[in-house]
Every structure is written in structure tokens, then in C-alpha cells.
């Protein structure tokens, strides 16, 4: 009470005498000094009840006039309670904001979907917004709870886009099932994810029947996409939307809540689940708009050839919706002629897909050079594996300009991207192609380091950015996974200081350009040296007779492993192992050259179109080497 009494006394004297300087100045000064002596200890000792310090602001609110006088007189300075905070709003980064934006800002922008019979369905963001909100309302009415996983088995079309937003905006997590996996794998992944409901295209019901007995979805919601019929006991997607409320109220969503879920493609072992937060998807969408990434805006027409069940079609459904880009969704028909037809008819400006897609497209273009014409360059974003340099060069002739990026399911997926920088304009054409064949530099807020094992103690050291030294890519950032879903046995994939071990081996130069050397498990370990299977493959695919090539390490009695090249020749072309070996010898040392060549009709692929090297290693595991 002494502080309160002293404050009142000081305030009274101040009201009576004005600013100290009057004849009672000494009296006021004395009162101030007494207050200082009594307030200072309070500001710097713990409160007996709570054990925490009493902030000066609390005292100031209690006795504003007297304490204010103390401060004004400069007798004491209140201790800062922590770093000064900004004055910006704490606004959540969540998908409902993107959904609202699309309906209000871009309602007339078109969404094009191709159906299984190749007919075209046209809608717009305004209609998409209303239907996504109705889906959210319908799912809530069916009992969707916050954090529930809703599985989808759907092709790339507007209905799937509605699920991309309707499910997370209702508080759920959309889990896109990879329909190209074996039925038993699909069932196992759905059970591991704990999926409650299933959204499925009617044309995919025959696939569902193959694992129906192995899963227990509470609700099956069938989307009328093709000509399929609705089985008894299943819910009709269109009827649910027709009966839903137009005035859906979003639940409380934290930006760190899960919004989407994907499982890895299994190229490095069993599939593992990654849950993307609202925050990660929003930030990743901003990243996609950058010129060094997709360079996308509302002026673009975007064709995601990459399936929406593979790393969310590389984040494009979210980014296009946020930026108002016109979307062209190809459905199940992604053969070269179908892709090229959409590129021309829909005036596409940006397309994305794995290298095998563009290898097939290039083959079709070269066979029919006058059939498809592109008046303006099309940005072709390529990822999954490193594109062959020769493919980049040959696609340029048709106005399809490859832009390479690197990423993974665990990175949402963009990790690096790039292209030529201004000071590179005067480089020779060959040097420019070498730069474009690299994977670019880390996206903003994504950090990368290259680590290489040192000794036998399990320690690693960071390799220099010299463009020569190689090491495993370790990565961290706001849209990089911090763990897998319910997979504690995979904790070793993260370092003690929080970096994700990708399993990809690369070099980085002094400007940050990443060049993938190989997957760590796909490097050929021969006589204590590493041989890049990727470099061998890309060079082989530059041979005029070679359509595709895949190189794997096969056990060898002397050298541990030696490279074997599996080759698919172009139609009507021929080549011998000796000819291909001589072609490679122009670019590689003798010890790096494959010791065996096999010619195949097709190279086995993973569910997302990558070369399935594990299948080749198994097929040729007992290869008989020449002595």
C-alpha cells in the first residue's frame, strides 16, 4: 500500500502545483524519489504468489498518474518484457482463404476437364467454389470430424479439385490414394492412414472391388465421372451436393492442422505417409508463383499431366486456385497424342510431368513433325528424375521449353528450381543447355546442404559447393516434412539437428545450382568408386537409336558392383552393345562404362512413371559376367 499512497500523494501534489518547478518542487521531487525507491524493487523481484516478475506495465495501469510522473521525470525506465512485437495481424494461412478468394476474385476463370470418353467438360472457379463448399457441408453432415482422413481414388478432373478444398475446409484431411499401385498395396495404405470415407470415380469401381474385402470404409461416395453405374449401398456424390446447405460455416482451423496426405511412391522402399499442413500448402503455393519456379499467374493456362494422387500434382491445384490460373485437367488419357492435343486446343502455357511423359511426347512429335504446332513457347516443368540433356535440346525445336525442378513427396514437393541467370546470356548454347539440365537452386526459405559419411563412426561432413564434390542432399524448410505418419522406425531419416535425409546424391556449385548425381541406393559402387547411373542414362538417351535407357548396379565377384544398361530402341532403329559402349566412351572413363547391355521392349516403371530400378536389379541379379 505504500506505493499506492505515495502515488496518490504525488498525483495530489502534481495537481496542486503543476509541473515540478513551482515553489513546492522539492516536495514533489521528494515524493518521486520515494516512489522510485519503492517501485524499483517491485519491478525486479518475483511475486510470491506466482513466482514471476511483476511487469512495470501492471503497476502503471494501477497508478497511472503517479507512475506516469515518475517515468516522465526520467527517474526510472521500465524493464522491457521481451522483444518488441510487430504490429501486424496474426492471420492464419489456411485453405478456406484460398477457396474464398477463388470464388470472389476469379469466378469466371475456366476449369477444363476431359472425361474418360475424351469429351470436354467446362466449368469455372465460381461454380467450383459453390460445389466445394457444398461438399464440405455434406461431409460434415455425414459425421466428418476434425482430423478425419478422407480417401480419394480419382483422376485429374474438376470433381477431384473440389475434394482438394472441400475436405480440408471442413476440417478433414484429403488422402489421395495412388490408383496405379497393386490393389493390396492400396488397401494397406488406406488402413495405415485410417481413412474413414472414400471418394471414388465411378470408372474406378472395378479397381475398388479388387480390395473391397480388405478395407472397411464407413462411407463410399461415388462421383459420376464416366459411364459407370452406382452400386447399391453407395452414396451419389451429385445427390449429396444437391442436398447440401449453401451457407456452410468453416470450422475453427489452425494453420498447422493437417489438410492433405500423400504416401511416397515407394522407390526407396515401403510407402510412407506425409501429412501436409494448411500452412505448408499455402506457403508452397506462393512459391509456385515465383518466376524461378513455375512462373505462374492468372494469365496462364496450366496442364498438370502429373496425377493429383502424386504429391498433389506437384501442388498445382492449390497454387492455380490461389493465383486464378486457368486449369486444364486431362483425366485418365495422358498418352502423347492426348497430351499434345490438349496443349494445342486449350492454348496451354505451362505443363508439368515426369521425364518419361516428355520422352514419349518427343517421340510423337518427331514422328509427326507437322501435326502439332505451338505458336508460342510452352513452359514444360519436369521433375521426378533428371531429364536427359538431349531431350531438352530436341524439345526446344518444337517450342517446348523444359524447366527442371527437384523435389519429393516429403517437400510438398518443390525443393529446387531455376534456369539461366542474367549473366549467363553470353554463354555458348552448349553451356546454356548444361545449366538448364541442372536442378536449379533452393527455393526461398528452403535450405540444402550436402553431406558425406566420414569414417566408420557414423559421422558426416558437409561437402563444399564446388560443383564437383558430391554428397547426400539434406534439406529443411517450412514445407518440408518433419516426420512420417505413424512411422517411428523411420526417425533415422532426420538428423539430430532437424534436417531431412533425402537419399539423393548431388553436387552444388558456387552459385547454388544443384545437379543430381543419383539416388544413394542407385549409385553403382564399383571398386571403391561411385558411378552415376543417371549420367550414363542421360548420355545413352542422346544416342539417335535409343528411346529409353536405365542403368543399374549388378553384383560382381571382383568389383562389388558393375553397371548394366537396359536399353529400349526407337521403332525401326538398331544398335549393338559395342556401338553404345563406344558412344559412351566419348564422355566417360573406361572403368565407368557399363560392362553389359540388354535390349528390352519396355523398362518397368513405378506407379508414377519413374524407372523401377529395383525390378531390373531383381531381374538381372544373377547375371553371368564374362571372366
- What are the tens digits of pLDDT across the range 533-564? 988 999 999 999 999 999 999 998 888 889 99
443, HSE (Cβ side, Cα atoms, 13 Å): 29
Helix (H) or strand (E) holding 401: strand 400-407
Do residues 547 and 602 both lie within one domain?
Answer: yes
Do residues 242 and 114 both lie within one domain?
Answer: yes
Q: What mean pLDDT do residues 577-602 have?
A: 94
DSSP class of residue 91 equals -
Residue 120 C-alpha cell reads as 470436354
Sheet holding 459-462, edge to edge: 459-462, 447-454, 470-476, 500-508, 514-519
* 382-441 pLDDT per residue, tens: 988 788 889 999 999 999 999 999 999 999 999 999 899 999 999 999 999 999 999 999
Label residue 59 by pLDDT band (50, 70, 90): very low
Q: Check pLDDT > 80 for residue 55.
A: no
Beta-bridge partners for 568: 548
Beta-bridge partners for 516: 506
Q: What mean pLDDT do residues 488-504 have?
A: 95
- The residue among 229, 158, 170 whose CA lies nearest residue 196 is 170
pLDDT recorded at residue 296: 96
Helix (H) or strand (E) holding 60: helix 56-62
Label residue 58 by pLDDT band (50, 70, 90): very low
- Annotation marks residue 530 as catalytic: yes
Q: What mean pLDDT do residues 298-316 have?
A: 97
pLDDT recorded at residue 476: 98
Question: Does a structural domain hold residue 307?
Answer: no
Higher pLDDT pick, 97 / 531: 97
Count structural domains, the chain.
4
Long-range contacts of 97-100 (CB under 8 A, 24+ apart): 97/282, 98/165, 98/282, 98/285, 98/318, 98/321, 98/322, 99/129, 99/132, 99/133, 99/165, 99/169, 99/321, 100/129
CA 374 to chain centre: 29
pLDDT recorded at residue 489: 92
- Annotation marks residue 479 as catalytic: no
Residue 177 C-alpha cell reads as 490414394
Do residues 166 and 260 both lie within one domain?
Answer: yes
pLDDT recorded at residue 606: 85
Question: Does a structural domain hold residue 313?
Answer: no
Higher pLDDT pick, 50 / 204: 204
Do residues 11 and 142 both lie within one domain?
Answer: no
pLDDT recorded at residue 431: 96
Question: Does a structural domain hold residue 81?
Answer: no
Final residue before a domain boundary, out of 468, 503, 521: 521
Say which CATH number the domain at 273 has.
3.40.50.12780
Q: What mean pLDDT do residues 476-498 have?
A: 96
Distance CA 339, CA 341 (A): 5
**CB of 524 closer than 8 Å to CB of 553:** yes
pLDDT recorded at residue 30: 58
pLDDT recorded at residue 566: 96
Q: What is the mean pLDDT of the chain?
A: 88
Say which CATH number the domain at 611 has.
3.30.300.30
Least confident of 430-444, 568-582, 607-621: 607-621
Label residue 210 by pLDDT band (50, 70, 90): very high
State whether residue 304 is helix, strand or coil: strand
Do residues 413 and 270 both lie within one domain?
Answer: no
**CB of 194 closer than 8 Å to CB of 149:** yes
**CB of 442 closer than 8 Å to CB of 519:** no
Do residues 106 and 248 both lie within one domain?
Answer: yes
Do residues 59 and 159 both lie within one domain?
Answer: no
Counting residues of the chain whose pLDDT is more than 70, the rounded percentage is: 86
Distance CA 570, CA 367 (A): 11
* 318-346 pLDDT per residue, tens: 999 999 999 999 999 999 999 999 999 99
Q: Check pLDDT > 50 for residue 590.
A: yes
Higher pLDDT pick, 241 / 245: 241
**CB of 560 closer than 8 Å to CB of 526:** yes
**CB of 175 closer than 8 Å to CB of 167:** no
Residue 278 C-alpha cell reads as 494448411
The answer to whether the predicted template modeling score (pTM) of the entire model surpasses 0.85 is no
Candidate list 162, 255, 346, 410, residue with the active-site label = 410
pLDDT recorded at residue 518: 83
- The residue among 387, 378, 389, 374 whose CA lies nearest residue 429 is 389
* 520-535 pLDDT per residue, tens: 788 888 876 778 898 8
Candidate list 115, 525, 570, 610, residue with the active-site label = 525
Do residues 364 and 485 both lie within one domain?
Answer: yes
Cα-flanking dihedrals φ and ψ of residue 272, to 5°? Answer: -130, 140
Do residues 154 and 25 both lie within one domain?
Answer: no
Question: Does a structural domain hold residue 105?
Answer: yes
Q: Check pLDDT > 50 for residue 45.
A: no
**CB of 460 closer than 8 Å to CB of 451:** yes
Question: Does a structural domain hold residue 321?
Answer: no
Question: Does a structural domain hold residue 90?
Answer: no
- Annotation marks residue 314 as catalytic: no
Least confident of 32-41, 409-418, 466-475, 513-522: 32-41
DSSP per-residue string spanning 252-271? P--TTSEEEEEE--STTSS-
HEC assignment per residue over 340-390 = HHHHHHCCCCEEEECHHHHHHHHHHHHHCCCCCCCCCCEEEEECCCCCCHH
Cα-flanking dihedrals φ and ψ of residue 264, to 5°? Answer: -60, 160
Question: Does a structural domain hold residue 368?
Answer: yes
Label residue 130 by pLDDT band (50, 70, 90): very high
Cα-flanking dihedrals φ and ψ of residue 94, to 5°? Answer: -130, 160
pLDDT recorded at residue 456: 64
Residue 378 C-alpha cell reads as 510452352
Higher pLDDT pick, 287 / 609: 287
Q: Check pLDDT > 50 for residue 23.
A: no
The contacts of residue 143 (CB under 8 Å, 6+ apart) are none
pLDDT recorded at residue 166: 98
DSSP class of residue 233 equals T
Report CA dihedral (7, 13, 18, 22) to the nearest 10 degrees: -130
Candidate list 530, 559, 623, 625, residue with the active-site label = 530
- Annotation marks residue 486 as catalytic: no
Do residues 434 and 583 both lie within one domain?
Answer: no
Candidate list 264, 321, 349, 606, residue with the active-site label = 264
State whether residue 596 is helix, strand or coil: strand
Final residue before a domain boundary, out of 471, 491, 521: 521
Final residue before a domain boundary, out of 255, 280, 305: 280
Do residues 499 and 373 both lie within one domain?
Answer: yes
Do residues 458 and 592 both lie within one domain?
Answer: no
Domain around 611: 522-619
Question: Does a structural domain hold residue 394?
Answer: yes
Amino acid at each position: 500500500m505504500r506505493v499506492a499512497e505515495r502515488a496518490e500523494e504525488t498525483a495530489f501534489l502534481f495537481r496542486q502545483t503543476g509541473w515540478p518547478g513551482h515553489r513546492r518542487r522539492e516536495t514533489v521531487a521528494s515524493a518521486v524519489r520515494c516512489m522510485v525507491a519503492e517501485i524499483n524493487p517491485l519491478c525486479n523481484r518475483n511475486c510470491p504468489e506466482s513466482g514471476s516478475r511483476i511487469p512495470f506495465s501492471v503497476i502503471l495501469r494501477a497508478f497511472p498518474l503517479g507512475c506516469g510522473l515518475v517515468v516522465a521525470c526520467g527517474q526510472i525506465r521500465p524493464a522491457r518484457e521481451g522483444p518488441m512485437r510487430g504490429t501486424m495481424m496474426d492471420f492464419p494461412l489456411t485453405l478456406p482463404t484460398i477457396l474464398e478468394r477463388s470464388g470472389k476474385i476469379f469466378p469466371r476463370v475456366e476449369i477444363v476437364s476431359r472425361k474418360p470418353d475424351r469429351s470436354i467438360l467446362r466449368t469455372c472457379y465460381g461454380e467450383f467454389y459453390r460445389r466445394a463448399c457444398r461438399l464440405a457441408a455434406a461431409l460434415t453432415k455425414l459425421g466428418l470430424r476434425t482430423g478425419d482422413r478422407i480417401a480419394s481414388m480419382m483422376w485429374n478432373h474438376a470433381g477431384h479439385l473440389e475434394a482438394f478444398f472441400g475436405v480440408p475446409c471442413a476440417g478433414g484431411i484429403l488422402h489421395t490414394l495412388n490408383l496405379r499401385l497393386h490393389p493390396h498395396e492400396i488397401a494397406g495404405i488406406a488402413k495405415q492412414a485410417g481413412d474413414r470415407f472414400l471418394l471414388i470415380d465411378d470408372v474406378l469401381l472395378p479397381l475398388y472391388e479388387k480390395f473391397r474385402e480388405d478395407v472397411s470404409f464407413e462411407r463410399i461416395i461415388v462421383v459420376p465421372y464416366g459411364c459407370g453405374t452406382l452400386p447399391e449401398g453407395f452414396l451419389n456424390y451429385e445427390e449429396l451436393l444437391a442436398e447440401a446447405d449453401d451457407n456452410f460455416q468453416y470450422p475453427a482451423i489452425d494453420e498447422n492442422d493437417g489438410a492433405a496426405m500423400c504416401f511416397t511412391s515407394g522407390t526407396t522402399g515401403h510407402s510412407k505417409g506425409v501429412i501436409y499442413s494448411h500452412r505448408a500448402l499455402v506457403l508452397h503455393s506462393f512459391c509456385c508463383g515465383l518466376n524461378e519456379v513455375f512462373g505462374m499467374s492468372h494469365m496462364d493456362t496450366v496442364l498438370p499431366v502429373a496425377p493429383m494422387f502424386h504429391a498433389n500434382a506437384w501442388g498445382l491445384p492449390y497454387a492455380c486456385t490461389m493465383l486464378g490460373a486457368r486449369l486444364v485437367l486431362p483425366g485418365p488419357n495422358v498418352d502423347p497424342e492426348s497430351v499434345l492435343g490438349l496443349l494445342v486446343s486449350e492454348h496451354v502455357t505451362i505443363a508439368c510431368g515426369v521425364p518419361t511423359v516428355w520422352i514419349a511426347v518427343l517421340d510423337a512429335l518427331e514422328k509427326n513433325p507437322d501435326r502439332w504446332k505451338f505458336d508460342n513457347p510452352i513452359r514444360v516443368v519436369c521433375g521426378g528424375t533428371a531429364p536427359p540433356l538431349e531431350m531438352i535440346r530436341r524439345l526446344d525445336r518444337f517450342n517446348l521449353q523444359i524447366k527442371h525442378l527437384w523435389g519429393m513427396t516429403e517437400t510438398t514437393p518443390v525443393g529446387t528450381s531455376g534456369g539461366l541467370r542474367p549473366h549467363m546470356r553470353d554463354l555458348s548454347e552448349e553451356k546454356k543447355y548444361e545449366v538448364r539440365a541442372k536442378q536449379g537452386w533452393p527455393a526461398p526459405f528452403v535450405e540444402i546442404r550436402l553431406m558425406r559419411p566420414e569414417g566408420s563412426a557414423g559421422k558426416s561432413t558437409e561437402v563444399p559447393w564446388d560443383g564437383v564434390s558430391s554428397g547426400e542432399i539434406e534439406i529443411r524448410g517450412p514445407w518440408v516434412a518433419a516426420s512420417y505418419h505413424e512411422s517411428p522406425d523411420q526417425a533415422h531419416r532426420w538428423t539430430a539437428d532437424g534436417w531431412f535425409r533425402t537419399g539423393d546424391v548431388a553436387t552444388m556449385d558456387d552459385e547454388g545450382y544443384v545437379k543430381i548425381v543419383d539416388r544413394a541406393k542407385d549409385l553403382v559402387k564399383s571398386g571403391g568408386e561411385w558411378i552415376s547411373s543417371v549420367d550414363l542414362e542421360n548420355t545413352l538417351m542422346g544416342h539417335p537409336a535409343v528411346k529409353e535407357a536405365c542403368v543399374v548396379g549388378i553384383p560382381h565377384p571382383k568389383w562389388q558392383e558393375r553397371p548394366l544398361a537396359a536399353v529400349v530402341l526407337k521403332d525401326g532403329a538398331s544398335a549393338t552393345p559395342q556401338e553404345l559402349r563406344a558412344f559412351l566412351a566419348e564422355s566417360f572413363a573406361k572403368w565407368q562404362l557399363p560392362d553389359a547391355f540388354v535390349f528390352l521392349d519396355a523398362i518397368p516403371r513405378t506407379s508414377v512413371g519413374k524407372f523401377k530400378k529395383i525390378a531390373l536389379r531383381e531381374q538381372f541379379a544373377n547375371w553371368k559376367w564374362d571372366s
